[in-house]
């Protein structure tokens, strides 16, 4: 036998990791209770935690009930006052100590994670635990520097955190580290299948002397998570898990004003152009989809290959798949471990069977499955079409679907054809091409010539139905902080209006203010009008009573104007200046109208118009300044964070300061490249219908700003239901906010609702800057490795 034959034929010997330490830890600790107020409670309502690779029972865990959640929230609330008042340095020391302790116990953590979850030791040892440690170190730095990096910010309070089973300790660290750094206290529920590493983490919290009640861990099932979500005294919920449960939580929190971040599912595209490093890309796709058995939210599960390399690529990929070693997760030679449980195996196998039944070509890697345990072979489907269920649905297992494309436009069309928007991977040796594709992908993360990279300094999170909010980096910290003035907002004092007299009917030529859709004045579809009254209750004019069809037309026009996002920030800035300039020409006329409609005195009306002009200038100034950051993760790569527009934003403006508020919201959204459909307030429609004449003379491209008049709640609801609307800003009462946020759940729009609170629109520091710009943008992190 020569050497090359030995390479081909010699089997790998087993190299099992020693699990003694982990087993003795489990044995020592017996049945696990909850970790509340710094101590473990007695185990109660126990259920078993199973090793999915062997079926053996590892430990008994307590199923948290409402009263357990109540105790945990109470402890977190009590601890909040002290914890939020500790200095950044004190909090940094605790986070640093936690990082050190995990580092010292890294092997125990890695083995425990592998036993409990089924993931291979190679991954828990080299990926999960090192990233956890990095997360706590990184966030020790945020705690230390919080005051100077986030001045005038304050923690939410008590944060409820709910995590899934695929990266148990890593997901815990993504949630706990930033929350604690910001000064919050937490009640965390691990997934029922994987609580052990969270319980070991609780002991670490005890060991480092973390003040009691700062971290509380309540184990249990979905109902335990629901009890945290529904608890009145929880200020923010951070959830990672399925889009289905994410939507349930969104609905439950509607109108409550609680913070919410959602990290949900994905169906990420892995795009390979013909000039890519093919062998590198094959390794990349193996990593993207078969890492962690494909139980990865951002798994590159849709392979898109340029037609000219398809055959060659698939051949290499299949050969590589055949070499993957599947089996004992504790064996350091295993590449693929066990799925989380039998239910998941059955679910994924059913999807595979359906794929075959529907005509897709199936390839599964060589080799036999272990006799027991929850295993599925690496699977590849080809001959699929874009609408097939296996192409659209998140499978959450080791199943890849492959399609081909002819040119970059086709690649983009396929890549963006998904309800999800978590991540994407782009492979090309031509960086010009790759970077041209990057901003056009609607995902929160893009990996260029790499896949599945993470770091605590680089934000992670999705677009569209993959959720909102980020974890990691500055944007991840922001998700655990509120502006202190926002926490102190008071309800708007209700003004008693004079009842309409209707005596002063419109005289002369009948004038009905039009709507403004796609750059043209438009009459309402229904043909109905509503009276607009002045401050004395007399009819001041009429506006069209917009309906569902008018909103549909406006959204269509807005979406057609999507190239607004590709225009240079300089151009967007120039157009906003131009709007300001043109409003300035007509400021007397606008001030008169404000007086008439709102009853403001001359000085107040003048101030509102002048501040509106100033606001247009403020956001014009920001258009080319509110940009991203470049990160330096600890590897040969840069990661740059882009502040991207959200898309089409529906805006229902408030009655207060009707011109200024509408213009502030419009200018912030448009400055960042969004298109808007604006529903002016009850008082403002005549002001805004005059404003379209300003728009018409200011070079605003058609469809970027659309104005639909009518009842704000009715039209707001239509906007919330519309899947073509990506975000909704709604000024109205708390009850209205509840309706709007509930209806927005359909495509998980990002919402901002004022809940009847008194925002000071005149305050340029608050309403003329980052507060609105943050709402108008979402962060995309782009990874680009370097080196030859
Ligand atoms: P689930 O959404 O079912 O569960 C996630 C967590 O929520 C678990 O702790 C679960 O408890 C709990 N939970 C279940 N129902 C409720 C409820 N009504 N209210 C509050 N909490 C509840 O997801 P899985 O755990 O099954 O994880 C798989 C899914 O998670 C995949 O679809 C994947 O896409 C997604 N995921 C997304 C990630 C991301 O970062 N975007 C990361 C990891 C997974 P229990 O375990 O007891 O059911």
Q: Whose CA is nearest to atom 47 of ligand 1?
A: 221
Q: What separation in Å is there between the alpha carbon of 186 and the centre of ligand 1?
A: 18
Q: Are 297 and 166 within 8 A, CB to CB?
A: yes
Q: What average pLDDT does range 376-400 have in this prediction?
A: 98
Q: What is the pLDDT of residue 402?
A: 98
Residue 71 three-state SS: helix
Q: What separation in Å is there between the alpha carbon of 399 and the centre of ligand 1?
A: 20
The atom number, within ligand 1, closest to the CA of 422 reads 41
Show Cβ contacts of residue 253 under 8 Å, excluding neighbours closer than 6 positions.
229, 237, 260, 741
The atom number, within ligand 1, closest to the CA of 265 reads 34
pLDDT digits (tens, 9 = 90+) for 750-788: 999 999 999 999 999 999 999 999 999 999 999 999 987
Q: What is the mean pLDDT of the chain?
A: 95
pLDDT digits (tens, 9 = 90+) for 272-322: 999 999 999 999 999 999 999 999 999 999 999 999 999 999 999 999 999
Q: Are 323 and 12 within 8 A, CB to CB?
A: no
DSSP assignment letter at 128:
I
Q: What is the pLDDT of residue 254?
A: 98
List the one residue out of 272, 262, 243 whose CA is nearest residue 408.
272
Show Cβ contacts of residue 281 under 8 Å, excluding neighbours closer than 6 positions.
272, 313, 427
Q: Render 195-234 in DSSP notation, one character per residue.
A: -HHHHHHHHHHHHTTPPTTSEEE----HHHHHHHHH-TT-
Residue carrying the six token digits 């830890």: 25
* Angstrom distance (rounded) from CA 300 to CA 436: 20
Q: What is the pLDDT of residue 500?
A: 64
Residue 537, classified by CB atoms within 10 Å of its CB into exposed (0-12), middle (13-18) or buried (19+), is middle
* Mean pLDDT lowest among 128-137, 688-697, 731-740: 688-697
Does the structure show a pLDDT above 70 at 722?
A: yes
* Angstrom distance (rounded) from CA 713 to CA 727: 16
Tell me, rounded to whole angstroms, the distance of Cα 579 from its chain centroid.
Answer: 33
Q: Whose CA is nearest to atom 14 of ligand 1?
A: 222
* Angstrom distance (rounded) from CA 586 to CA 659: 13
What pLDDT band is residue 536 in, cutting at 50, 70 and 90? confident
* Angstrom distance (rounded) from CA 452 to CA 614: 44
Which of 131, 165, 241 to mutate for ligand 1's pocket (most ligand atoms within 8 Å of CB)?
A: 241
* Angstrom distance (rounded) from CA 176 to CA 178: 6
* Angstrom distance (rounded) from CA 447 to CA 51: 33
pLDDT digits (tens, 9 = 90+) for 334-345: 999 999 999 999
* Angstrom distance (rounded) from CA 468 to CA 781: 14
Q: What separation in Å is there between the alpha carbon of 423 and the centre of ligand 1?
A: 18
Q: Whose CA is nearest to atom 10 of ligand 1?
A: 222
Q: Whose CA is nearest to atom 19 of ligand 1?
A: 226
pLDDT digits (tens, 9 = 90+) for 419-448: 999 999 999 999 999 999 999 999 999 999
Q: What average pLDDT does range 196-211 have in this prediction?
A: 98
Q: Whose CA is nearest to atom 22 of ligand 1?
A: 222
pLDDT digits (tens, 9 = 90+) for 640-699: 999 999 999 999 999 999 999 999 999 999 999 999 999 998 887 888 888 999 999 999
pLDDT digits (tens, 9 = 90+) for 450-505: 999 999 999 999 999 999 999 999 999 999 999 999 999 999 976 655 666 655 55
Q: What separation in Å is there between the alpha carbon of 416 and the centre of ligand 1?
A: 24
Q: What separation in Å is there between the alpha carbon of 284 and the centre of ligand 1?
A: 26
* Angstrom distance (rounded) from CA 548 to CA 546: 7
Q: What average pLDDT does range 361-379 have in this prediction?
A: 96
Does the structure show a pLDDT above 60 at 509?
A: no
* Angstrom distance (rounded) from CA 427 to CA 446: 11
Show Cβ contacts of residue 734 under 8 Å, excluding neighbours closer than 6 positions.
255, 257, 755, 756
State pTM to two decimals: 0.96
Active site residues: 263, 297
Residue 89, classified by CB atoms within 10 Å of its CB into exposed (0-12), middle (13-18) or buried (19+), is exposed
Does the structure show a pLDDT above 70 at 705?
A: yes
The atom number, within ligand 1, closest to the CA of 263 reads 41
Helices (H) and strands (E) counted in the chain, each on its own, are 29, 34
Residue 571, classified by CB atoms within 10 Å of its CB into exposed (0-12), middle (13-18) or buried (19+), is middle
Residue 282 three-state SS: helix
What pLDDT band is residue 510 in, cutting at 50, 70 and 90? low
Q: Render 404-425 in DSSP notation, one character per residue.
A: EESSHHHHHHHHH-SSEESEEE
* Angstrom distance (rounded) from CA 324 to CA 617: 59
Q: Where does ligand 1 bind, in terms of residues with CB under 6 Å?
A: 162-166, 189, 191-192, 221-222, 225-226, 229, 240-242, 245, 248-249, 263-265, 297, 394, 396
Q: What is the pLDDT of residue 505?
A: 52
Q: Are 265 and 297 within 8 A, CB to CB?
A: yes
Tokens of 203: 């002991």
The atom number, within ligand 1, closest to the CA of 241 reads 30
Q: What average pLDDT does range 374-383 have in this prediction?
A: 98
> Rounded to a whole number, what is the distance in angstroms from the first to the last CA of the chain?
36
Q: What is the pLDDT of residue 511?
A: 65
DSSP assignment letter at 391:
H
What pLDDT band is residue 18 in, cutting at 50, 70 and 90? very high
Q: What average pLDDT does range 107-115 have in this prediction?
A: 98
What pLDDT band is residue 387 in, cutting at 50, 70 and 90? very high
Radius of gyration for the alpha carbons in the chain, expressed in angstroms and rounded: 28
Q: What is the pLDDT of residue 499?
A: 63
Q: Whose CA is nearest to atom 32 of ligand 1?
A: 242
Q: What separation in Å is there between the alpha carbon of 263 and the centre of ligand 1?
A: 10
């Amino acid at each position: 036998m020569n050497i090359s034959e030995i390479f081909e034929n010699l089997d790998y010997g087993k190299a099992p990791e020693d699990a003694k330490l982990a087993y003795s830890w489990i044995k020592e600790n017996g049945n696990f209770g909850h970790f509340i107020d710094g101590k473990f409670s007695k185990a109660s309502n126990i259920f078993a935690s199973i090793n999915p690779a062997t079926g053996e029972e590892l430990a008994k865990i307590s199923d948290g009930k409402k009263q357990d959640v109540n105790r945990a929230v109470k402890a977190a609330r009590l601890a909040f006052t002290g914890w939020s008042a500790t200095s950044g340095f004190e909090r940094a020391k605790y986070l640093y100590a936690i990082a050190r302790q995990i580092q010292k116990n890294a092997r125990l953590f890695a083995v425990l994670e592998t036993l409990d979850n089924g993931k291979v030791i190679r991954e828990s040892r080299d990926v999960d635990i090192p990233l956890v440690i990095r997360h706590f170190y990184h966030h020790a730095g945020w705690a230390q520097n919080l005051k100077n990096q986030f001045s005038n910010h304050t923690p939410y309070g008590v944060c409820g955190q709910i995590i899934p089973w695929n990266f148990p300790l890593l997901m815990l660290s993504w949630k706990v580290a930033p929350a604690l750094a910001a000064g919050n206290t937490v009640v965390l529920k691990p997934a029922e299948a994987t609580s052990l590493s969270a319980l070991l983490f609780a002991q670490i919290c005890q060991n480092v002397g973390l003040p009691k009640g700062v971290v509380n861990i309540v184990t249990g099932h979905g109902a335990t998570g629901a009890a945290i979500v529904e608890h009145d005294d929880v200020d923010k919920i951070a959830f990672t898990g399925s889009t289905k449960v994410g939507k349930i939580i969104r609905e439950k929190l509607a109108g409550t004003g609680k913070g919410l971040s959602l990290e949900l599912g994905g169906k990420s595209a892995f795009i390979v152009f013909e000039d890519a490093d093919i062998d590198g890309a094959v390794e990349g796709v193996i990593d993207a989809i078969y890492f962690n058995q494909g139980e990865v939210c951002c798994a590159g599960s849709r392979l898109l290959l340029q037609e000219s390399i398809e055959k060659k690529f698939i051949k290499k990929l299949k050969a590589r798949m055949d070499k993957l070693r599947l089996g004992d997760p504790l064996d350091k030679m295993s590449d693929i471990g066990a799925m989380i449980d039998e239910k998941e195996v059955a679910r994924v196998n059913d999807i595979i069977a359906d794929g075959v039944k529907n005509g897709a070509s199936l390839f599964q890697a060589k080799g036999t499955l272990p006799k027991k345990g929850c295993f599925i072979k690496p699977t590849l489907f080809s001959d699929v079409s874009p609408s097939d269920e296996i192409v659209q649905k998140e499978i959450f297992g080791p199943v890849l679907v492959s399609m081909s494309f002819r040119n970059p436009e086709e690649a983009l069309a396929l890549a963006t054809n998904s309800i999800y928007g978590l991540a994407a991977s782009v492979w090309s040796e031509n960086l010009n091409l790759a970077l041209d594709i990057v901003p056009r992908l609607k995902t929160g993360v893009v990996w260029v010539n790499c896949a599945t990279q993470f770091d605590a300094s680089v934000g992670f999170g999705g677009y569209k139905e993959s959720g909102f909010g980020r974890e990691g980096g500055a944007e991840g910290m922001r998700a655990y902080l509120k502006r202190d003035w926002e926490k102190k907002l008071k309800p708007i004092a209700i003004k008693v209006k004079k009842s309409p007299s209707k005596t002063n009917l419109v005289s002369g030529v009948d004038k009905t203010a039009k709507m403004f859709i796609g750059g043209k004045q438009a009459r309402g579809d229904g043909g109905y009008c509503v009276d607009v009254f002045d401050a004395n209750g007399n009819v001041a004019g009429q506006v069209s009573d917009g309906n569902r069809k008018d909103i549909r037309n406006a959204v269509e026009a807005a979406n057609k104007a999507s190239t607004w996002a590709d225009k240079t920030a300089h151009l967007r800035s120039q157009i906003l200046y131009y709007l300001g300039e043109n409003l300035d020409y007509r400021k007397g006329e606008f001030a008169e109208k404000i007086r008439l409609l709102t009853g403001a005195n001359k000085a107040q009306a003048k101030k509102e118009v002048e501040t509106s002009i100033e606001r247009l200038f403020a956001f014009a100034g920001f258009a080319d300044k509110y940009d991203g950051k470049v990160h330096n993760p600890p590897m040969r790569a840069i990661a740059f964070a882009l502040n991207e527009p959200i898309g089409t934003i529906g805006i229902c403006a408030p009655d207060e300061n009707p011109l200024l508020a509408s213009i502030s919201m419009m200018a912030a959204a448009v400055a960042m490249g969004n298109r808007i459909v604006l529903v002016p307030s009850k008082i403002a429609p005549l002001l805004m219908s005059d404003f379209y004449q300003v728009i018409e003379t200011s070079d605003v491209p058609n469809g970027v700003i659309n104005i639909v008049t009518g009842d704000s709640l009715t039209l707001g609801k239509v906007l919330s239901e519309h899947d073509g609307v990506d975000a909704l800003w709604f000024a109205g009462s708390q009850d209205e906010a509840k309706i709007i946020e509930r209806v927005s759940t359909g495509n998980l729009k990002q919402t901002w609702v004022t809940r009847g609170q008194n925002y000071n629109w005149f305050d340029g520091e608050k309403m003329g800057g980052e507060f609105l710009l943050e709402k108008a943008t979402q962060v995309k992190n782009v990874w680009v490795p370097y080196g030859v």
